[in-house]
């Protein structure tokens, strides 16, 4: 697998879903394990790749959480003096367990979400989300009749792909421009969106435009649900870190003519933050949660106050094991 290509695909948004982005990165790490000639080589290559991937998509809590789990396993094997063969096996097993857990969590969250959709509902969504698609697929399997409104979701227009896939399920789909969200909200019964990350206060980080959809839904008293299994909680935000929001290549939005380059600046944010007060419920594998319940979920795993290692701290420790240690 070409790891440079993987990083570019992630950086430029060629992989739409956060889940698919993480699985692609983990598959590249598995390939890295297979091709590394020594434990030291694996350590160096993984550390470099992890830093580049996070730099390419810093917004994804799921990506940070999964890379941290793999980094901890490599570090543990280094400290215990394990051989390359043993470390390869441990990393592959960890990746398999991560994907299995994520699949199970996603399936359960989508199942719970599908139960919130009633026959005859008009549901609005934005961007592309594998979990949102799976929710509609389950609703279709249950024989529900739904009308689905999908925002195109520029820059990137990922909503177009989601609209096509949902239409194949047999639902009536209306694809609209992003700026029509408030205009059409009077026809909407529920809003269902995916997630890139959840912050410590229950705020939602998702594709840009989600916050405006949430504001319009709040104004119109339309309930908004976000599909966000617990592996999308940004643990770093509990330590005071801020989620870094990605930006698209300005040229993807507008190519500035030469004679206007000094006067026109193009800015194309990819994600925005939706305040917790505009979210009616967060749908996780554990059930529906209020945004205020996110700290309780973290406390179940890490205690309170939470004892959390950041990905940066683990990678920094991993980097301390120099060539002389082997």
Give 103-169 as a DSSP string. Answer: HHHHHHHHHHHHHTPPTT-EEEEES--HHHHHHHHHHHHTT---EEEEE--TTTTHHHHHHHHHHTT
Span 61-65, mean pLDDT? 95
- SS in 3 state form for 34-52? HHCCCHHHHHHHHHHHHHH
Q: 253 exposed, middle or buried (CB, 10 Å; 0-12, 13-18, 19+)?
A: middle
Residue 14, domain CATH: 1.20.120.420
Report the C-alpha gap between 182 and 169 in whole angstroms: 26
211 shares a domain with 120: yes
Q: What is the pLDDT of residue 135?
A: 98
Q: What is the pLDDT of residue 68?
A: 96
Residue 220, domain CATH: 3.40.50.10470
* Residue 60, pLDDT above cutoff 70: yes
155 shares a domain with 128: yes
Q: Which of 100-104, 172-176, 183-187, 239-243 is predicted least confidently?
A: 239-243
149-163: per-residue pLDDT in tens? 999 999 999 999 999
DSSP three-state, residue 283: strand
Give the Cβ contact number of residue 221 at 10 Å.
7
267-322: per-residue pLDDT in tens? 889 999 999 999 999 999 999 999 999 999 988 877 887 788 889 999 999 987 75
256 shares a domain with 158: yes
203 shares a domain with 122: yes
289 shares a domain with 175: yes
DSSP conformational letter for 13: T
* Residue 181, pLDDT above cutoff 70: yes
118 shares a domain with 220: yes
281 shares a domain with 261: yes
Read off the tokens for 275.
Answer: 């305040």
Among 281, 120, 101, which residue's Cα sits nearest to residue 204?
A: 281
1-55: per-residue pLDDT in tens? 788 899 989 888 788 889 999 999 999 999 999 999 998 899 999 999 999 999 9
Q: Which of 79-83, 127-131, 135-139, 205-209 is predicted least confidently?
A: 79-83
Give the sign of the dihedral formed by CA 180, CA 188, CA 194, CA 150. Answer: negative
Between 246 and 69, name the one with better pLDDT.
Answer: 69
* Residue 254, pLDDT above cutoff 90: no
Report the C-alpha gap between 201 and 237 in whole angstroms: 9
276 shares a domain with 163: yes
Among 294, 282, 283, which residue's Cα sits nearest to residue 201?
A: 294
Degrees to nearest 5, angle at CA 67 with 274 and 11: 60
207 shares a domain with 174: yes
Q: What is the pLDDT of residue 325?
A: 47
72-127: per-residue pLDDT in tens? 999 999 989 899 999 999 999 999 999 999 999 999 999 999 999 999 999 999 99
Report the C-alpha gap between 144 and 166 in whole angstroms: 13
pLDDT band per the 50, 70, 90 thresholds, residue 139: very high
Q: What is the pLDDT of residue 258?
A: 86
195 shares a domain with 91: no
| pTM score of the predicted model | 0.92
Among 152, 159, 155, which residue's Cα sits nearest to residue 177?
A: 152
* Residue 326, pLDDT above cutoff 50: no
180 shares a domain with 147: yes
Average per-residue pLDDT for the chain? 93
Q: What is the pLDDT of residue 322?
A: 58
Give 188-219 as a DSSP string. Answer: -SEEEE--SEE-TTS-EEEETTHHHHHHHHHH
CB 13 within 8 A of CB 60: no
Read off the tokens for 217.
Answer: 């839904």
* Domain, as residue range, for 269: 108-302
Q: How many domains is the chain built from?
A: 2
Report the C-alpha gap between 283 and 281 in whole angstroms: 6
DSSP three-state, residue 224: strand
55 shares a domain with 161: no
């Amino acid at each position: 697998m070409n790891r440079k290509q993987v990083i570019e695909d992630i950086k430029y948004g060629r992989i739409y879903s956060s889940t698919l982005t993480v699985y692609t990165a983990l598959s590249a790490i598995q390939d890295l394990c297979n091709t590394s000639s020594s434990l030291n080589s694996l350590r160096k290559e993984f550390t470099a790749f992890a830093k580049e991937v996070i730099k390419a998509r810093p917004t994804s809590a799921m990506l940070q959480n999964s890379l941290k789990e793999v980094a901890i396993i490599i570090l543990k094997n280094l400290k215990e003096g394990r051989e390359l063969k043993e470390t390869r096996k441990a990393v592959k097993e960890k990746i398999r367990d991560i994907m299995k857990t994520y699949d199970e969590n996603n399936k359960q969250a989508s199942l719970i979400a599908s139960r919130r959709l009633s026959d005859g509902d008009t549901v609005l969504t934005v961007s592309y989300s594998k979990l949102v698609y799976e929710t509609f697929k389950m609703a279709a399997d249950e024989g529900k009749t739904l009308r689905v409104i999908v925002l195109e979701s520029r820059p990137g227009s990922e909503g177009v792909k989601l609209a096509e896939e949902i239409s194949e399920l047999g639902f009536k789909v209306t694809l609209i421009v992003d700026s029509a969200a408030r205009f059409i909200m009077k026809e909407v019964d529920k809003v269902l969106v995916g997630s890139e990350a959840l912050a410590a206060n229950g705020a939602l980080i998702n594709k840009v435009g989600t916050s405006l959809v949430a504001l319009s839904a709040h104004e119109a008293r339309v309930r908004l649900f976000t599909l966000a299994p617990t592996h999308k909680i940004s643990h770093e935000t509990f330590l005071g870190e801020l989620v870094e929001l990605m930006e698209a290549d300005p040229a993807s939005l507008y190519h500035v003519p030469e004679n206007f380059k000094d006067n026109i600046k193009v800015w194309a944010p990819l994600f925005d933050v939706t305040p917790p007060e505009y979210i009616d419920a967060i749908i996780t594998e554990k059930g529906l949660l209020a945004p205020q319940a996110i700290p309780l979920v973290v406390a179940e795993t890490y205690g309170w106050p939470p004892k959390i290692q950041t990905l940066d701290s683990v990678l920094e420790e991993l980097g301390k094991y120099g060539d002389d240690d082997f």
